[in-house]
Amino acid sequence: MLPTFEATGRLPPGVHPATWPVFVERFGTSAGRREQLMKLEAALRLLRDAGCSRVFVGGSFVTAKSEPADVDVVWDLTGVDAGALDTIFFDFEDERAAQKHRFGGEFFPGALVEGVTGRSFLRFFQYTRDDEPVGIVAIDLETIP
């Protein structure tokens, strides 16, 4: 079960595990969000098919914001067959434009480091732009039907 939002509209700090159905129920609260979830599901299926078992979703999508602009995802490298993975997950050209166009979000390998803060993206998404800690959601990809 995912925790309630704090007064700021964010999840409490930490990594909060969820199944795909729980994630969809919690964050699919508008037509725009449901459309984003359909694109996200397509991406997560590709990751799962290449051996990825878990992703972490952060940013505005896991807040109370009614219409977030995109979905920010960090994928766990453990068990992933990079040769079987769609090359779009390694395409960081033009600020990940191809990922945004196809999936409505950005996807970062867990070990990749964000350039300004020096934090791994897994840690990076656990902080706001003002460096305040926030929560992210870990999704078990085996729970996607």
pLDDT top residue among 133 and 113: 133
Please check whether residue 7 lies inside any domain of the structure.
no
Rounded CA-CA distance 79/10 in Å is: 31
Domain count within the chain:
1
Alpha-carbon distance of 35 to 56, in angstroms, equals 19
Name the residue range of residue 103's domain.
14-143
Q: What is the pLDDT of residue 114?
A: 84
In a domain, 5, yes or no: no
Any domain includes 22: yes
Q: Kindly tell me the burial class for residue 114, based on how many C-beta atoms sit within 10 Å of its own C-beta (0-12, 13-18, 19 or more).
A: middle
Is residue 8 domain-resident? no
Report how far residue 112's alpha carbon sits from residue 6's, in angstroms, rounded to the nearest whole number.
Answer: 29
The answer to whether residue 52 sits within a structural domain is yes
37, part of any domain: yes
- Helices (H), ranges, 50-136: 97-103, 121-124
Q: Could you give the CA distance from residue 39 to residue 88 in angstroms, rounded to a whole number?
A: 14
For residue 2, being part of any structural domain is answered with no
The answer to whether residue 9 is domain-embedded is no
Residue whose tokens read 């003002």: 130
pLDDT single digits (tens) 46-96: 999 999 999 999 999 999 999 998 999 999 999 999 999 999 999 999 999
Model confidence at 36: pLDDT above 90: yes
- Region 20-43 average pLDDT: 97
